[in-house]
Amino acid sequence: MARTLRYFGAIAFLFAALLGQTVSAEDAPLRIGVITFLSGPAAGPFGVPAKNAADLLAEAFNKGQVPGYDKKGFGGRQIELVYVDEAGGPTKVVTEYRNLITRQNVDMVIGVISSGDCLAVAPVAEEMQKLTVLFDCATNRVFEEASYKYVFRTTTMATQENVAAARYIAEAFPNLKTFSGVNPNYAWGQDAWSDFTESLKILKPDAQIATNVTPKLGAGQYNTEVSALLSSGAEMMQNSLWGGDLEAFLLQAAPRSLLETMPNVIICGDTVLERLADQIPDGTIIGARGPNGPYAPPTALNKWFRKKFEETSKAQPVYASYHMATAFFGAKAAYEKAQATNKAKDPSVEQIIAAFENMKFESVSGTVDMALGKGHQAVQPVPYGTVRKVNGKITLVNIRSYSPDKISPPDGMKSLDWIRSGFKR
């Protein structure tokens, strides 16, 4: 249907030109390139739920049906989505990103789930001077190792999520002596383990690492890792696997009672609550990479989003859905702020960037503050809760939310330096 609408839109544009009518750029749709996993093991738990959120919001924005956002589209301009499948690795994603700009003529890009892809895309966005909103990838290296003008990230990062996890563990296991970890061997997993362990050195200096297993991204088979974790004898385990890797690990760990023997704090756990509920025992600690999914605030906007998402997707929105939605709300808010500030119907990229920097905006996950990365990186609270099944249904208890000042370094300070300072501000 969307392809048909784009086709007829192009035909109408052509006929208008042939008839001598002037069609300005500001009357044409705003084309947004969207990069997410549409195939492979990350598609089901992450990529497709993110795409479903993008489709839902694009239609609702264009019709002016989103609570609190009265202007249709972006500032009255209809939006049109152009999708790219993220599957294939960083080199392929960079090629697809370039094609979005040079061949598809998109006006901005919203995308990227994998931290490896994120690190590859960001410098290319700067090279091509294309406004790009990173919607999901978590590595803190993006804005700690480089400075960008055209790149923004509207969601939390590894540091915030793993410092919050460490704080939760320190409170939930006051006598913790040993802990283990399972972390994919690339940027996200390395950052997650580093931030978590360095935080526990401050919060629980007597706790010792039993083992950390680092499977290859997309490994699929985890029997060796499960054996190593079981033999470590740790009291709990930090787990930063995600997507198909997390699901495969849980399915292979469940028959051997790993999660029951050694409670996991699963940083990306929200995505398995519905899909693998039977495999998650009481005591499992669940994160949703910010105030997303079960931790999203009960605002009118979130209630509307959840209802619409469940109606259209026949499933609950997971944090990837929330992250995609938040990126769209951020881009829309920046576009319309630039319109108002500059009294411009079609603001320039530079005007949108100026509006975006250090902006606060409302999303389905609550207030988002672009407070880090010189105004390009979001901060939000990060909650965690513990699974308790009631009549076979998963509920979350002992929910604790950690405010940005407790889990985020000061702007301009590297995460590890801040953690090792004892979280000094």
Model confidence, pTM = 0.92
CA angle 343, 326, 272 (to 5 degrees): 170
Phi-psi region of 129 (alpha: psi -120 to 50; beta: other; left: phi over 0): left
User: Can you give the pLDDT at residue 23?
Assistant: 45
* Segment 140-198, tens digit of pLDDT: 999 999 999 999 999 999 999 999 999 999 999 999 999 999 999 998 999 999 999 99
User: Can you give the pLDDT at residue 111?
Assistant: 98
Question: In the predicted model, is pLDDT for residue 20 greater than 90?
Answer: no
* Segment 351-380, tens digit of pLDDT: 999 999 999 999 999 999 999 999 999 999
User: Can you give the pLDDT at residue 24?
Assistant: 52
Closest CA to 198 of 422, 424, 425: 422
Average model confidence (pLDDT) across the chain: 93
The percentage of residues in the chain with a pLDDT greater than 90, rounded to a whole number, is: 90
* Segment 47-94, tens digit of pLDDT: 999 999 999 999 999 999 999 888 999 999 999 999 999 999 999 999
Question: In the predicted model, is pLDDT for residue 10 greater than 70?
Answer: no
User: Can you give the pLDDT at residue 56?
Assistant: 98
Question: In the predicted model, is pLDDT for residue 218 greater than 90?
Answer: no
CA angle 245, 233, 237 (to 5 degrees): 40
User: Can you give the pLDDT at residue 392?
Assistant: 84
- Read off the pLDDT of each residue in 369-398 and give the average, rounded to a whole number: 96
- Read off the pLDDT of each residue in 299-328 and give the average, rounded to a whole number: 97
Q: How confident is the model at residue 13 (pLDDT cuts 50, 70, 90)?
A: very low
Task: Give me the domains of the chain, ranges plus CATH numbers.
Answer: 2-156+296-379 (3.40.50.2300), 159-294+382-420 (3.40.50.2300)
Question: In the predicted model, is pLDDT for residue 229 greater than 60?
Answer: yes
Q: 20 with 67: CB under 8 angstroms?
A: no
Q: 67 with 301: CB under 8 angstroms?
A: yes
Question: In the predicted model, is pLDDT for residue 15 greater than 80?
Answer: no
- Read off the pLDDT of each residue in 199-209 and give the average, rounded to a whole number: 97
* Segment 314-351, tens digit of pLDDT: 999 999 999 999 999 999 999 999 999 999 999 999 99
d(CA 410, CA 415): 9
Question: In the predicted model, is pLDDT for residue 302 greater than 50?
Answer: yes
Residue 290 is given by DSSP the state S
Q: 263 with 283: CB under 8 angstroms?
A: yes
φ/ψ (deg, to 5) at 106: -75, 155
User: Can you give the pLDDT at residue 1?
Assistant: 43
Q: 242 with 161: CB under 8 angstroms?
A: no
d(CA 188, CA 61): 32
Pairing verdict, β 366-372 and 377-379: antiparallel
d(CA 157, CA 319): 13
User: Can you give the pLDDT at residue 348?
Assistant: 97
User: Can you give the pLDDT at residue 399?
Assistant: 98
162 Cβ neighbours under 8 A, 6+ residues apart:
191, 192, 193, 195, 196, 199, 238, 240, 267
Q: How many residues does the chain have?
A: 425
User: Can you give the pLDDT at residue 69?
Assistant: 87
User: Can you give the pLDDT at residue 7?
Assistant: 39
Q: How confident is the model at residue 25 (pLDDT cuts 50, 70, 90)?
A: low
Q: How confident is the model at residue 21 (pLDDT cuts 50, 70, 90)?
A: very low
